[in-house]
Amino acid sequence: MAFNKCWLILTITLCVIGIGYSGDDHDHHDDDHGHHDDHGHDQLLSQNFYQKTCPRAVETIRKAVDDVVSQEPRMGASLLRLHFHDCFVQANDTPTFTGEKNSFPNKDSLRGFEVIDSIKSQLEDMCPSVVSCADILALAARDAVFALKGPRWEVQLGRRDSTTASLSESNTDLPAPSFNLSGLITAFQKKNFNIQEMVTLSGGHTIGRVRCTFFRDRIYNESNIDPSFAEAMRALCPSEDGNGDDNLAPFDSITPDTFDNAFYQNLVNQRGIVHSDQQLYANGAGITDSQVIMYSRNFGRFKKDFGDAMVKMSLLSPLTGNDGQIRTNCRLVNN
């Protein structure tokens, strides 16, 4: 669908080639001795793929991400979401090419392109036409989550960039903030994720912001919402369509710029800001309620499960070998 034909989730979704989750994230260095799974394309991927062709690539990406996230923590969530929606590589329209940037889930909401542009420019100066945009995005998302105190998973490298895009897939396959639980389950199952993994990946909303237009209906018309929370959000989001549509509120009102388990604590307290998030918890009566409660009490478990789920997502049909291309400009397919 985009950089590397991976999908992506909720108001975030992905395309990384990760493998083997590294527990407590005490270090900031890649382990070049990780195992390799024999999953077809995976055999062409490795953590040290650029060791000889662009040895400073991983370090360059990490430093750039650390710098931008330290200046603007919200950018960490934006980079994760870019990776998830994986539409950056095919995002822009041209006179002869229809990208995915203007699909309904992406229009006026994706950001961080300039960060990827800057990283790509540095790497092109360093080692031209070597490092793919798909790999840049995968590493940037991982490093952004880690910079916000989240898990750190190992990223397999060597993927190539897609030469196609699908506006229709972007419109139909990305779960919407208005989805009910059944719709979320169906959307994730379509990508081979079970219900448990859907709940886990939804936890990416522990960071980031959402536009008023996506939570207006919930704060004015739904009953399964904490009254004081609804009142506070109404101050940010007027009831009339077109009035304050772009005003922002954090997905997680407790610690909006820290990757933790407060997202699930909010759901238990009926303080999920978008309809689809609150669908994960129904006052103890829903099929996903027990997992939400567990995560709300156990960050370590959520942290590990999120890393594992990102690894699984990263193994969705990577382009390798002679497939695809190495884009010189991440916004456009090569001429």
pLDDT digits (tens, 9 = 90+) for 270-302: 999 999 999 999 998 899 999 999 999 999 999
Q: Look up residue 248 and give its two tokens.
A: 């922002």
Q: How confident is the model at residue 175 (pLDDT cuts 50, 70, 90)?
A: confident
Q: What is the pLDDT of residue 173?
A: 60
Dihedral sign from CA coordinates of 151, 18, 154, 110: negative
Q: What is the pLDDT of residue 99?
A: 41
Average pLDDT, the chain: 80
Q: What residue ranges in 36-165 does DSSP mark as E strands?
A: 153-155
Which amino acid makes up residue 102?
N
Instruction: Exactly one of 83, 85, 205, 275 is catalytic; name it.
Output: 85
| Residue that wins the pLDDT comparison between 188 and 122 | 122
Q: How confident is the model at residue 96 (pLDDT cuts 50, 70, 90)?
A: very low
Exposed/middle/buried for 217, CB within 10 Å: 0-12, 13-18, 19+? middle
DSSP 52: T
Q: What is the pLDDT of residue 171?
A: 46
Distance between CA 196 and CA 189 in Å, rounded?
11
Query: Is pLDDT above 90 for 319?
Result: no
Q: How confident is the model at residue 55 (pLDDT cuts 50, 70, 90)?
A: very high
Which amino acid makes up residue 268?
V
Nearest of 260, 252, 250, 258 to residue 295 by alpha carbon: 260
* Residues 87 and 99: beta-carbon distance below 8 Å: yes
Distance between CA 142 and CA 281 in Å, rounded?
27
Distance between CA 319 and CA 15 in Å, rounded?
11
pLDDT in tens, 9-18: 333 323 322 2
The verdict on whether 85 is a catalytic residue reads yes
pTM of the entire predicted model: 0.79
pLDDT in tens, 61-77: 999 999 999 999 999 99
pLDDT in tens, 221-255: 999 999 999 999 999 999 999 999 999 999 999 99
| Residue that wins the pLDDT comparison between 107 and 235 | 235
